Structure formats: C-alpha cells, structure tokens
A and B are shown apart, each in its own frame.
Chain A
Amino acid sequence: MITINNLIKSYNGKVAVNIPHLEIDKGIIGLVGNNGAGKTTLFRLLLDLVKADRGEVVSNENAVSKNEDWKSYTAAYIDEGFLIPYLTPEEYFYFVGKLNNRSKADVDEMLSDLTIFFDGSILKSGKYIRDLSKGNQFKVGIAACLLQNPEIMILDEPFANLDPSSQIRLIHMIKELNEKKHVNILVSSHDLNNITDVCTRILLMEKGVIIKDIQTSSATLNELEDYFRA
C-alpha cells in the first residue's frame, strides 16, 4: 500500500523525519511519540504537503510527489488547515462530495449515518466552520474524510479535541470502517489507552526515527507506558 524509502526531512539542520524503510499495509496503524517526534511531518510527507530532502513515499506503486493518483483514494484530516473556514459545514460537505463525484443525495445519505456522532451541533448550526469549536471542527474534518470513501485515511490526533462520548464513538467508527469497508487507517495520538484499543499495529517515533514497531497485544499498553515514563 504505502512504502517509504530512505525518507529524510530536516528543518534548519534538525532532523524531523528519518525513515530508511517502512511498509504500511492493511489495518489500523497508530503513531505515538512526544511532541516534536515528527508525527505530523510524516503525515504531511505522506500527503505530499512537505518536500522530502531525500527519499520518497510510494503509494500503490506511484511516488506521491510525482503522480496525483493517490488523491483519489486518500483522505486526511490533520488540522483546521484542511477545512474551508468561511463555508457552512453543509457547503463544505457538498464541496468535498463534488470533488469525489458524489451527488448531493449521496452526501445527505452518508451524513445521516453520522447523526449520532454530530450530536446535533454540526448540521443546520447556522454557523460557518470558522465559528465552530475546535472539537466540532474536528468532527467536520473526520466526516469529510468519510465522505470520500477512501482506501487510506490519515487522522492526526483526532481524540485530542473530542469530548469523551465522541471519542468512544470515533473509536467504534474507526474499527467498523476497517472491518466492514476495509479502510486502512493511520492515526496518531497522545492517548495511549485509545491508541492501543483501536490499533492493530503501533509505530513509536522519537526524534524523527521509528524506534519501535509493535503488533498490538495485551502487553502493548504497558510497554508504551514504560517507554514514556523513562
């Protein structure tokens, strides 16, 4: 699915990402690491939003920096920079739908599945996206990812701004997407409980390097806690 070869990105001489080789295949893959470990930079490299100093990201046999095909099956939400602030949530959803050849009716149908997740505060809110709270903006971003019916979904710290109920619903949704629709999901988080609960594989990053690659088991949470305590 996604292969990384000799990928290096540094800012002002400081290495942000340095990954000699990594295969990302099916499943729900978690990315953990302290601030500055390079998680977001790695995601941006996967989305061709940052130019690598060296190496490449290959998605389904095409380098993302050379071929735009990956856009049609990859959906991502990293931060509010992925939303269009002066649109209402509905306008934004229809716009994203249009980019992905979904009719309005399709979009409406998919949104109706998200009624519980939205909790009544997104649709018909009478607000532009810029006026929504951070948590609700995140919900809009995640919903827009789902609308694209992607094969690969990338979410950067989705749990951080959500209230507890929404976190639980999101975990449920992510698991279901992977099981029923076989969407492969990359998700980063600081919440070790959530990430061990939801992910089948966890990558631990430190100073741009992936220092651990763990298949999740019942021992994983302890292993991670031990690392972060040190």
Chain B
Amino acid sequence: MQIFIGFIVLYLTAVAILLGFSLDKILSGSFPGKDIVRIFFGFILYYYAFDIVIRFILQDLPTLAVQPYLTQNIKRNKLVQFLNIRSLFSIFSLLPLFLFLPFIIRVIDAKYGVIVSLSLVICIFSLTFFNHFLVLFIKRKTILNQWWLIGFFMAILLLAAADYFQIFSLRNWSADLFSTVIKIPALCFIFIAFAIAALYNNSKFLRNNFYLENLEKSSGEKRSAEFSWLQRFGIYGDLMGLDLKLILRNKRPRSLMLLSVIFLFYGYFFFKPENIQGNNLAILLVGSIFITGMFMVSYGKFLFAWQSNHFDGLMASNMNVKTYIKSKLILLTSFSTVAFFVSLLYVLISWKLFPILLAAWLFNIGIHSILTVFIGTLNYKAIDLSKGSSFNYEGMGVAQWIYSFMILVVGAAIYLPFALLFNSWAGIAAIGILGLISFLMQDWWLDKLTLQFANHKYKMLQGFREK
C-alpha cells in the first residue's frame, strides 16, 4: 500500500517537473501567436481551484493526540506550530513549485527581470500556503459540523457552474490579476498577507479547540431508537440496525457517508452528452459503478474495523460467524440498492444509462460486495470511533481510493475482454450477467467468506485490541 502511494507521488512529481520545464513550448505550440505569458497566468488560479478540491479529498490532517502533551512542560503554541509545520511536508506543497517555477524562471525572468519574477515566485508560494492552511481549516471545521462540508462543496459547485456557464471567467480573472502583478510587483505582499491570515486563522482555531473532545460529549439527552422496518429481516435486521446506529451516532462514519451522498452527483461528471452520444460506454460504466457503489466503498473500507472497539463482545456473543457475515452482505447490498434507485434519476438524461446502471448495480451487489467483505477480513487496524473529531481524519486519505481502484480493476478485467472481442455493449452485458450470477451464488460465497473470516478472526481480534 505504502509503495503504491509512493509510486503515485513519484509519478506526479515526474509529470509536474516535465510539464514545468516544457510548459513554454507546450503553450506556444497550442496557442500560436498568442501571448503565452497571459495564457500561463490564466492557468494559475485554475490550478489552485483544483488544488483546493484535490487537497480536500486527499490531504490527510496532521494528527497528534495532544492530551498527553498538554500536561507536559510544552507550550501550547509550540504544539500548534508543530502541527502546522509538520503538515507542510506534503506532495501538494511541492507540485506547484515544480509546475510553475521553471516557466517563471525561463520565460518571465528573461522578459521582465528579477524583481517581477521574484514577486511572482512569492505569489506562488503564498497561494500554496494559503490553500494548504485554508483546506486544513475547512477540513477541521467539517469534522465539527457537517454543514461546512455541504457548504464547501456547494461553493465549489457554484464556482464551477459560474465558470462553466461563463457568468464569469476564472481564466480572465487570473490572467488580469497576474498581469497587474507584473506591473506592480509590490502586490505580492497582498498574497503574503493572505497566506499569513490563513495560517493565523488555522492556528487560532487549533488553539481554541484543544479541549474539543471533552466539550463535545455531554450534549443533549440520548434516546433509544428503534428501526421497526428492519424487524422483518429478523436477526439480520438487528445487526443492520446496529450498523446504521454506528453510522448515525459516530462522527467519523457519519461524515464519510455524507460525503458519499455528494458523490451521487458525480454522475454529471461522467454522464456528459459527448460520452452518451459518443457511446463512451466504459466511462459511463465507471461512473455508474461509482455512483451505485459509493456507499459500499465508504462503509465497506472499514467494514469490520468500524466495530473494532466492541469486536471482542460481538465475537463472544451468541451469534454465528455466518450470521454476522450475512448481515454485512445484506447491508452492503442494501446500500447499493438504495444508491441504484436514486441513480435512476439519471435515466432522465438518456435511456441508454438504464442498462448500464443496472449492470453496475448487479456488479456491485454480486461481486463488489463479496470483495468488500473479503478485503474487510484483511484489515487488522482498529478505528477509534470515540476520538475522531478535532485531530483525526485517518482513513479519508489515499488508501480509500486505492480500494476503489481495486474494484475498478476487477470491473475492467470482466469488461475489457468482451468489449474488445465483441463490442462495448457485450462488455456491459458481461458485467451485469456475471454480477447477477455471482449474486445468485451468494450462499456459496457466504460459506467461503465465513471460512475466510474464521481464519483471520484472531488476527483481527488482536489488531483491533491494539489501539
């Protein structure tokens, strides 16, 4: 896993360096006769807009259990500083430097001189820091209050929509902004001010929220709840009810699931007219699998680990392993089915999406669900539900995306042979039919998974006990 992440980082870095050094050629090649400096400037804010979104999804929060240090002879400001500085060591801090600095040095320095290029370099650094600390702040806020998450994505969507429908042009804006910096290099101090403001804001928030864990607990009276509609599933219903309460009553899984709701809108990203008219079925299929499988991925990534702090009790209680596994399969199937029904709204865009969504759903309930349980038995790392607020965002990082990546690899292994041998629709049919067959074989899978679980049970138990 670590190696994989390492490769991605290395790859991104290589691409950034390569792009950075050939940017002037690429720009003058693709926009002949235009002012490449202005085009370059147009890209900068675009980059940082994307940077914010990518950082938000991928960047891990620097975590540190501060409580043990609070009683030690370390000043609180030192702890805050430590958290802030450590967080900067990230690939996201380096990428823009690789990407922009070569162009600035090679083209702008030659054309406008040292002072201008220096002020631009300062702007780039400042923007990177600004984004960095802004994202940390927003991410921490979303842990406290989920509305920040919705607000953040709404703001991004609005911005993207405004740009897309040309209500305003981020590119022109960006180009104008940096053209002004060329004329008045001193403007870079305003960028510095923004970066410092973001840093200050983040530090202040951290300082004020050191004791957050304690404050949070005693809010309001807790009542018992019952999901009577789950009763018809018998004991499986009770076990699923347990999972639902786990999601609703703990911050970590709750915000993860909330994020999945937002992913339902990802369809607009995949189901573009050109993809539908152009019969780019592979892209439509990937989108469909994501949409109907997002809940599964979010919850399934930590399928058993979510219950790590009461796994001992579950394993010693009067419940067969098989019953337990089956309840998980039913839960995952239900998640995907709900997502499937919601996703049917996309059929309004084109009827063509219906068979694809159907195939994706069958794939998810038949194959993806089995894989998820299987992968779940290989995860021995405990998750602390009771923490997870101010200094903990583990699991929202790259690893989760790799797991979804694996699902796509399996999907591709089924789709591609048929799509290449016959045509894309044959690939879709293969996904759907194999999914259905696998789903009908669920009892057989159940025995295999029960065995797999029994073999890994002790490792899981031991791992989950080590916090």
Residues of A within 8 A of B (CB): 44, 47-51, 68, 71-72, 74, 76, 78-88, 90-91, 95-96, 98-100, 126-128, 130-131, 148
CB of B223 closer than 8 Å to a CB of A = yes
- Beyond the given A85-B385, A148-B318, could you list 7 further A-B residue pairs with CB under 8 A, ordered by the A residue number? A51-B458, A72-B318, A81-B313, A83-B313, A87-B245, A88-B224, A126-B222
Per-position 1/0 for B445-467, Cβ under 8 A of A: 00000000000001001100100
Q: Which of these, A49, A50, A68, A128, contacts B222 with CB under 8 Å?
A: A128
Secondary structure of the B contact surface, majority rule: helix
The reply to whether A71 and B317 form a contact with Cβ atoms under 8 Å apart is yes
List 8 A-B pairs, Cβ < 8 Å: A49-B316, A50-B461, A68-B320, A81-B312, A81-B465, A82-B316, A83-B313, A130-B386
Residues in chain A near residue B462, CB distance under 8 A = 50
Whether the Cβ atoms of A91 and B310 lie closer than 8 Å is no
Contact of A84 among B218, B225, B235, B242 (CB under 8 A): B242
Task: Assess the A86–B458 pair: CB atoms within 8 A.
Answer: no
Q: Determine whether the beta carbon of B242 is less than 8 Å from that of A95.
A: yes
Is B221's CB within 8 Å of the partner chain A?
yes
Which residues of chain B from 237 to 273 have any CB-CB distance to chain A below 8 Å in the complex? 238, 242, 245-246, 249-250
> Is the beta-carbon distance between B321 and A68 smaller than 8 angstroms?
yes
- B315 within 8 Å of A by Cβ? yes
A131 x B217 contact (CB < 8 A)? yes
Residue ID in chain B nearest A131 by CB atoms: B217
Instruction: Please indicate the chain A residues that have their CB under 8 angstroms from the CB of B246 in the complex.
Output: 86
Q: Of B221, B249, B465, which contacts A86 at CB under 8 A?
A: B249
Residue numbers of B with Cβ under 8 A of A are 217-218, 221-225, 235, 238, 242, 245-246, 249-250, 309-313, 315-321, 385-386, 458, 461-462, 465
**Option from A49, A82, A90 in Cβ contact (under 8 Å) with B224:** A90
Complex-state Cα separation, A90 to B245, whole angstroms = 14
Distance (whole angstroms) from the CB of A77 to the closest CB of chain B: 8
Closest 4 pairs between A and B when the two form their complex, measured CB to CB: A82-B313, A126-B221, A51-B458, A81-B312
Shortest CB–CB separation between residue A54 and chain B, in angstroms? 14
- Residues on A with beta carbons closer than 8 Å to the beta carbon of B235: 98-99
Given contacts A50-B458, A81-B310, A99-B318, contact A86 B250 (CB under 8 A): yes
Asked whether, in the complex, the Cβ of A85 is within 8 Å of the Cβ of B242, the reply is: no
Contact residues in B for A131 (Cβ distance below 8 Å):
217-218, 222
Whether B222 and A81, one on each chain, are in contact in the complex, defined by CB atoms closer than 8 angstroms, is: no
B317 and A96 contacting across the interface, CB-CB below 8 Å = yes
CA distance A51 to B238 in the complex (A): 29
What distance in Å separates the Cβ of A44 from its nearest Cβ neighbour in chain B? 8
**How far does the Cβ of B231 sit from chain A's closest Cβ, in whole Å?**
10
How many angstroms between the C-alpha atoms of A91 and B245 in the bound complex?
11
Identity of the chain A residue whose Cβ is nearest the Cβ of B465 in the assembled complex: A81
A33 to B462 CA separation, bound complex (whole angstroms): 23
Residues of A within 8 A of B245 (CB): 86-87, 91
Distance in Å: Cβ of A68 to nearest Cβ of chain B: 6
Q: Is the CB of B312 within 8 A of A82?
A: yes
Contact with A95, one of B223, B225, B238, B461 (Cβ below 8 angstroms): B238
Q: What's the minimum C-beta distance from A14 to chain B, rounded to whole angstroms?
A: 15
Q: Is the CB of B242 within 8 A of A49?
A: no
List, in ascending order, chain A residues with CB within 8 A of B318's CB.
71-72, 99-100, 148
Check A88–B319 contact: CB distance below 8 A: no
For the complex, give the distance between the alpha carbons of A44 and B461 in Å. Answer: 11
A79 to B60, CA, bound (A): 32
Of the candidates B217, B250, B311, B386, the one whose C-beta lies within 8 Å of that of A81 is B311
Q: Which residues of B contact A81 (CB under 8 A)?
A: 309-313, 465
Which residue of A is nearest B315, CB measured? A49
Which residue on A lies nearest to B310, using beta carbons? A84
Shortest B69–chain A CB gap in Å is 24
Query: Which residues of B sit under 8 angstroms from A48, Cβ to Cβ?
Result: 315-316
Complex Cα–Cα for A79 and B465 (A): 11
In-complex Cβ contact of B319 among A49, A90, A91, A99 (8 A)? A99
Name the residue on B nearest A150 (C-beta): B318
Taking CB as reference atom, which chain B residue is nearest A104? Answer: B226
- B251 CB, min distance to chain A CBs, angstroms: 11
Q: Which of B309, B316, B385 contacts A71 (CB 8 A)?
A: B316
A99 and B225 contact, CB distance less than 8 A: no
> What CA separation (Å) do A98 and B226 show in the bound complex?
13
Q: A43 — nearest CB in chain B belongs to which residue?
A: B316
Closest chain-B Cβ to A74's Cβ sits at a distance in Å of 8
A131 to B385, CA, bound (A): 13
Which residue of A has the minimal Cβ distance to B218? A131
Query: Which residues in A have their C-beta under 8 angstroms from that of B309?
Result: 80-81, 85
Across the interface, do B217 and A49 meet the contact criterion of CB distance under 8 Å? no
Shortest CB-to-CB span from A42 to chain B, Å, is: 14
The reply to whether A78 and B312 contact each other, CB–CB distance below 8 Å, is: yes
Contact, CB under 8 Å: A91 / B224: yes
Q: Which residue of B lies closest to A148 (CB)?
A: B318
Closest residue on chain B to residue A100 by CB atoms: B318
Considering the complex, give the chain B residue whose CB is closest to the CB of A93. B224
**Contact among A71, A85, A99 for B310, CB-based, below 8 A:** A85
In whole Å, how far is A82's beta carbon from the nearest beta carbon of chain B? 3
Q: Are B223 and A88 in contact (CB under 8 A)?
A: yes
Residues of A within 8 Å of B458, CB to CB, are 49-51
- Give complex CA distance A95, B226 in Å: 11
Please give the distance in Å from A114's CB to the nearest CB on chain B.
17
Please, which residues of chain B bring their CB within 8 A of the CB of A51? 458
Chain A CB within 10 Å — which of B316, B458, B462 has the most?
B316
Complex Cα distance, B424 from A168, in Å, reads 74
| Docked CA distance A81–B314 (Å) | 9
Distance between Cα atoms of A73 and B218 in the complex (Å): 37
Asked if residues A84 and B222 are in contact (CB atoms below 8 Å), the reply is no
Q: How far is the CA of A215 from the CA of B385 in the complex (A)?
A: 44
Closest B residue by C-beta to A79: B312
CB pair A128–B320 under 8 Å, yes or no, is no
Q: Chain B residue with minimal CB distance to A50?
A: B458
B316 touches A86 (CB 8 A): no
A84 proximity list for chain B (CB < 8 A): 242, 310, 313
In the complex, A115→B233 CA distance in Å? Answer: 32
CB distance from B350 to the nearest CB of A (A): 43
Q: Measured between alpha carbons, how far is A96 from B317 in the docked complex, in Å?
A: 8
Q: Which residues of A contact B222 (CB under 8 A)?
A: 88, 126-128, 131
A7→B169 CA distance, assembly (Å)? 74
